[in-house]
Chains A and B, each alone.
Chain A
Amino acid sequence: MKRTFFTSIILLVCIAFFLSVWGFAQNNKDTLPRRALEKLTLENAAMCEEIKEYTPYNSAVVFSIKIGKVSCFTSFDPVPEKTFIYHKWYHRDKPSTKKKLTLNPPRWSTYSSILLRETDKGPWRVEISDQKGNLLRILRFSITD
């Protein structure tokens, strides 16, 4: 009786293990090709005064130099695989800084910021591009008094 009970437990564990391995295999069969077909997509991009709770706060196209900092927020959905993007900041067509930001699947939000100085007044743009350099979006804004 005791022997039958242990045999049944071992059998159940084996069945459970088999089922789980089989299920994982089945799951892999479905998801791997689907993710491989998905494309990194920029869901939202905005210039903002700050990031609060992973969302842009006070999005605008003109920022006063007095706020001291301006951020470029980007969110991607889906992110098929771990990759990185670039935020290239330009002040009047002259490159100012380039930030490399990592993205993780399945979706990811990230941002870059610059601290503002008196000489930073004028028109700016941030070019958002993927790791291959493909341009995803351009955000234009101005820094004023």
Chain B
Amino acid sequence: MDMLLSFLATIHWQDVADILLLSYILFRLYVLFRGTHVFRVIAGLVILWFFQRIAVFLGLILTSWALQGITAVATLIIIIVFRNEIRSVLQAKNLKAILWSSPIKTAHTPTEVIAESILALSRQHIGALIVFPAMENLRDFVQSGIQWNGLLSKEMIASIFWHDNPVHDGAAIIQEDRITEVGVILPLSYRNDLPSHYGTRHRAALGLAEVTGALIIVVSEETGNVVAAKDSNIIDIGTNDELIKILKDHAGVFEEEKGFFRKEKLELGIAALASLILITAVWFSFSRGLDTLMTLEIPVEYTKSDPKIEIIETSVNAVSLQLGGSSALIKSIRPEQIQVRLDLDKAVAGRNTFSITRDNITLPPGIFLKKVSPSVVEATLEVIIKKALPLQVDWVGKLPEHLILSEIKLDPEKIEIIGGNRILENISTIYTAKIPLDNLQQSGSMMINPVLNPASLKISSESKDQIIVSYVIKPRRQ
């Protein structure tokens, strides 16, 4: 009991919100994508990730590495391959539909009318191909459709597939209570195990069913038989009731059948509970797993706002942080997520001593600080001053032996440097970049840059940053 209470005491409201929010997102993703190919592929991906974690746990280095690579690539492929489905789910519905609305649809599709029309076509041996799309956008899979957008009726369906109608050979697409397109060409299936009496309509129906979640109803012109193609399967339909059931199942339409509603609500309830359990388990595995300690070397960021003060020297550039947390969180830490920042605004010129406390350290959620080493840091600050310093040329190489460089003149002779007062105190000359003597044969002049060492020094804006060196070369007296 005490353990339970002490455990509950460690739970913050943020933790509860974290779990509930993620559970709801997972549940909504299930609701939005269920019944589509995307959902199945995502489920496969989750299983792949699960196996990868097991492989990591068991220390199977190569397997975990390979699974990690496959998962990463597969995620990218899913987004590219199923971009249309994802777009149709996210675009076709409004924000309320995405975030809240119940997935149980009310009866919009007149399934009885459609079923009666199909049976009438069957009786008259009029061939027909009718497509009921699922959530995917069919645009990438079908061709040559003619926009129709006619209100669905028995007569309308009969007229579309009438022998003399120019579009009767193509498929008609029905969405809710409208015929949206007619004369649509479907992709053909290349399966070679189909019965010999199946014609082009059957192959076309199966072809689309193989690549999408659509339901396709085929009425054979020769036999008048009705078949339904869905998910790479062809189902023979014998009665009106069978046809209505298939149509309603596909459309997700439920009438006032208490049992069906109950089943649907039960399924959603189980999905919601499974989401909650899954996210809770993942959350606990991440944040409340076995406590692990890790030591990281993190650079210290010294900040100051006064431009007249400069940091000259610090006793340490990095501190060693001993961090604790669940093994999953500790393993996922990247050094860039952690910051050690020391504000030097209250520091004065000279040597300052600071203690590094928890307030100076930014850690990811769920990670706690055990120890900082060293916990005391010294920083030496200096006042920025300007100083005019003489320039001197740094010659290198060798002049020809019969020549001497007898005289030089610099313009300017002095340069104004900005830097810390302690640094500038010890500098009495600014040297130029090295000038090679080897190619000098006669008197002349050249432009050269000064070299500032240390790099914290800067040339004042009032000084020239290039120096003209004029030199005189004479023959050597023997």
A residues adjacent to B (C-beta < 8 A): 57-62, 64, 92-93, 121-123, 125, 138, 140, 142, 144-145
Contacts and interface: CB of A to CB of B under 8 A. Distances in A.
Interface stretch (B31-39, B105-113, B340-348, B425-433): B425-433
B361 interface: no
Contact of B429 (A62, A64, A125): A125
B407 interface: yes
Interface stretch (B254-262, B273-281, B391-399): B391-399
B406 A61 contact: yes
Interface of B: 390, 392-399, 401, 404-408, 426-429, 431, 437, 476-477
B445 to A, nearest CB: 14
Contacts of A121: 396
B477 A62 contact: no
Nearest to B431: A123
20 contacts: A57-B477, A59-B406, A60-B404, A62-B395, A62-B404, A62-B405, A62-B437, A64-B401, A93-B427, A123-B392, A123-B394, A140-B392, A140-B393, A140-B429, A142-B393, A144-B395, A144-B396, A144-B398, A144-B437, A145-B397
B399 A142 contact: no
A123 B429 contact: yes
Q: Which of B390, B394, B404, B476 has the most CB of A within 10 A?
A: B404
Contacts of A58: 404, 476-477
Contacts of A122: 394
A123 B404 contact: no
Binding site of A, secondary structure by majority: helix, strand, loop or mixed?
strand
B32 to A, nearest CB: 73
Contacts, number: 53
A61 B476 contact: no
Given A62-B395, A64-B398, A123-B393, 7 more contacts: A93-B427, A123-B394, A123-B395, A125-B429, A140-B392, A140-B429, A145-B398
Q: Which of B392, B405, B407 has the most CB of A within 10 A?
A: B392
A91 to B, nearest CB: 11
Q: Which of B394, B395, B397, B398 has the most CB of A within 10 A?
A: B395
Contacts of B406: 59-61
Contacts of B408: 61
A144 B429 contact: no
B350 to A, nearest CB: 24
A46 B395 CA distance: 18
Nearest to B410: A140
Contacts of A62: 395, 399, 404-405, 437
Nearest to A142: B395
A60 B405 contact: yes
A64 B397 CA distance: 9
A61 B405 contact: yes
A142 B406 CA distance: 12
A59 B406 CA distance: 6
A138 to B, nearest CB: 8
A92 B395 CA distance: 12
A130 B285 CA distance: 81
A93 B429 contact: yes
Contacts of A61: 395, 405-408
B102 to A, nearest CB: 82
A61 B395 CA distance: 10
Given A59-B406, A62-B404, A142 B427 contact: no
Contacts of B395: 61-62, 123, 142, 144
A21 B394 CA distance: 61
B399 A64 contact: yes
Contacts of A145: 396-398
A124 to B, nearest CB: 9
A64 B403 CA distance: 11
Contacts of A60: 404-406
B318 to A, nearest CB: 32
Contacts of B392: 123, 125, 140
A129 to B, nearest CB: 14
A123 B394 CA distance: 6
B409 to A, nearest CB: 10
Contacts of A125: 392, 429
Nearest to B396: A144
Cβ-closest 4 pairs across A and B: A142-B395, A145-B398, A62-B405, A60-B404
Q: Which of A122, A138, A142, A145 has the most CB of B within 10 A?
A: A142
Contacts of B397: 144-145
Contacts of A59: 406
A61 B472 CA distance: 10
Contacts of B477: 57-58
A49 to B, nearest CB: 8
B432 to A, nearest CB: 9
Contacts of B437: 62, 144
A62 B472 CA distance: 11
A137 to B, nearest CB: 12
A125 B431 CA distance: 12
A49 B428 CA distance: 26
A131 to B, nearest CB: 22
Nearest to A46: B406
Contacts of A57: 477
B271 to A, nearest CB: 77
Contacts of B407: 61
Contacts of B476: 58
A145 B401 CA distance: 11
A64 B395 CA distance: 11
Nearest to B398: A145
A70 to B, nearest CB: 12
